[in-house]
Structure 1
């Protein structure tokens, strides 16, 4: 059974989605690959207290690593990419090629990019920390401006 709630953040409204009480989605407004609203299940603003607490601590600059149970729905390859994303340290970036290398498939940088774009739990699974080989900001489901703001925030240039 799916449930959802909507919370405010420095990056706009965030929709939190749970599958049987376990976080499976965190979507920004106007996010690319955002599922249809009718797939989010019933509204429940009491289910996500721990998620909200950790997000508030993150946005306050007090939390560098989330410790939440997640239920990520995707292909085995997508899930392996998302597992690599949570290993990227706070305030650092990795290229798509570096992630492909870490997965043991150096020719898979495009596939890594596609899987990164389908990440269902943005911010917590930090897909914003992935950049082009030359360090440039490439696609981000929440928009390049949000990606830049998140990276600046983590590097200490923009605490809220």
Structure 2
């Protein structure tokens, strides 16, 4: 059975997609509300509660022009802030709380038979997530749009011989504070990931793209001092095993278009706009 959080997010996602597809027609509040079967009053209130800004303001964060301005005018200073101070205009960047540790060959040989993995389901602003952890850190996070058994089956494919416990541990709880952006509750988040040295380096570099920031595959390759590796970088971004915590959603096309996303382009639009509203909007 769907929770109210899931129902509300699905309405928000449908509204965002409607606004994005029809932005040239400048749909009214009434038209957007009708599309998701809500009164204008309730739709405006729900959207403002979720995004912190009005639907019209939110839409500007999804425009190609806005994305290009971030890439051209703000990206250097945002990267500098992430590397040098960990500060942005809205406060401490959540990414700098996150530390990546690669698994040893022994930890994931034979399908992870040496691993004990706790996992649980939780609600986020973007739908249900499945989060899993070892004793060393988060090893997996994915949006779970399907039944819980199916979502768990995807986790098992990554570590087919691991031992699993349905248990919400402190490591998972700490990571989930990311969605609240309440830094007072957030300790360091550790990720315990299976990946090649190149993949780990790409994922670590993604953590330097702060909230409200965007990066292209080419510029990400440049940050890795390997400007000809855009295709390999793209593959590593697509293989990211930890949704949202490693912000692969902040990688867009050089044209300013949002592009595809492992967990759906509609969700990618929602996340980018939600983060931009917190970094630059009037909350």
What's the TM-score bracket when you normalise by the shorter of the two chains? 0.7 to 0.9
**Looking at CA atoms only, which structure, 1 or 2, has the larger radius of gyration?**
2
Distance 1:56 1:104, change over 3 A: closer
Q: Trace 1:1-160 onto structure 2 (pairs within 5 A).
A: 1-30=116-145, 36-38=154-156, 39=159, 41-47=164-170, 48-52=172-176, 54-58=177-181, 62=182, 67-156=188-277
C-alpha deviation, 1:55, in angstroms: 2.7
- Give CA deviations for 1:80-125 in whole Å, capped at 9, x if unaligned: 1001100001101000000111111111111111100111111111
Query: Normalising by the residue count of structure 2, what TM-score does the alignment of the two structures yield?
Result: 0.49
Give runs of ≥4 in structure 1 deviating > 3 Å: 37-40, 157-160
Contact 1:137 1:148 (C-alpha < 8 Å) held by counterparts: yes
How big is each residue's C-alpha offset from its partner over 1:110-145, in whole Å with a ceiling of 9 and x where there is no partner? Answer: 111110011111111111000011111122111111
Q: What TM-score comes out, normalization by structure 1 length?
A: 0.84
Unaligned runs of 5+ in 2: 1-115, 147-151
Cα RMSD, aligned residues only: 2.6
Q: 132-141 or 38-47, which moves further after superposition?
A: 38-47
Aligned length in residues? 153
Q: Between Structure 1 and Structure 2, which shows a larger proportion of helix residues?
A: 2
Unmatched segments (≥5 aa) in structure 1 = none
What SS is found at the alignment partner of 2:174? helix
Deviations 1:17-55 (A, max 9, x none): 112251111111259xx9724347221024422122x23
- Aligned with 1:69: secondary structure? strand
